[in-house]
Amino acid sequence: MSICVKEPRRILAPNPSALTGPGTTTFLIGRADVAVIDPGPDDPAHIEAVARAGQGRIGHILVTHAHRDHSAGAWRLARLTGAQVLAFGRARDGRSPIMARLAEAVAGGEGLDEDFTPDRTLRDGEVVTGTDWSLRALHMPGHAAGHLCFEWGDQVFCGDLVMGWSSTLISPPDGDLADYMRSLDRLAALAPRRLLPTHGPAIEAPLPRLAELAAHRRARSAQILADLRERPDSAEALARRIYDIPAPLLPAATRNVLAHLIALSQLGAVDFPDEIGPDTVFSPG
């Protein structure tokens, strides 16, 4: 049976940005032996603060996914504590065949921690336990192919699958919108009392937030289709017309639009003349 402590301990990494919000939250649970969830970036001061908070009792380092703002500090923390690093796999593990093909044609993988290699891989549904805690790994891809959430009693550490302050970036070939929508449905079916994202505050009303995120994605897909009916175009051109954002965020917006276009093409709602590339022109199916 899962053991739930009311509150995890939190240590915020000094890496705020437009994509990370206030920064990466590293969580610690357990007292007799400690588990760390998402050690964060390879920032020596942050990792040393996490190690101090663990009081020499850190035995497990769990990583939701291999993006540098979540996983890059794992090796430093493991060296300081001797703890094992657990995750789904390496940065590219878990990609669908279509995303693996796309990776050959389109540069991507912003933020991927290509050097990340866990000591131990976790299967969907696998339980990791300590003296006074229990976590169930849930493979919930979408933001990243190998993204894990960790169920902790009636709460879920949800990584970047759900954030309270923003919608999640879906950036092919690592991000997959069809997987993301399925993961939202699966998380909603668990009916957790609270979600603990790695960026931003806890989400105290998970089901309304999950419904809101799913509705947002359906509305964005409808917007993209309506735009395509007016003028077939590339993902970048669509992003320029749809988003009113600073220029540095345009690449991320383009990736987001591409994720919608790929998902819509799998449904037969969008067509394209050949293999997907950076200049592919999409049209209504």
CB contact burial 172-189 (16+ within 10 A = b; e otherwise): bbbbbbbbbbebbeebbe
Overall fold of domain 9-204: Metallo-beta-lactamase; Chain A (3.60.15)
Q: What is the pTM of this model?
A: 0.93
Q: What is the dihedral of CA 151, 166, 263, 97, to 10 degrees?
A: -50
Arch. (CATH architecture) of 214-284: Orthogonal Bundle (1.10)
Query: Residue 2's pLDDT is what?
Result: 43
* Length of the chain as a residue count: 285
Q: Domain extents for the chain?
A: 9-204, 214-284
Q: How far is the CA of 270 from the CAs of 74, 101, 226, 233, 281, in angstroms?
A: 41, 18, 11, 11, 10
How many degrees, rounded to 5, is the angle at CA 156 between CA 95 and CA 179?
A: 25
Query: Residue 4's pLDDT is what?
Result: 45
Each residue's pLDDT, cut to its tens digit, for the chain (285 residues) gives: 344 447 999 999 999 998 899 999 999 999 999 999 999 999 999 999 999 999 999 999 999 999 999 999 999 999 999 999 999 999 999 998 888 888 777 666 568 999 999 999 999 999 999 999 999 999 999 999 999 999 999 999 999 999 988 899 899 988 999 999 999 999 999 999 999 999 999 999 999 999 999 999 999 999 999 999 999 999 999 999 999 888 888 888 898 999 999 999 989 999 987 777 768 899 998
| Count of alpha carbons within 13 angstroms of residue 138, beta-carbon side | 23
CA gap 46, 43 in Å, rounded: 5
Query: Residue 108's pLDDT is what?
Result: 60
Query: Residue 187's pLDDT is what?
Result: 98
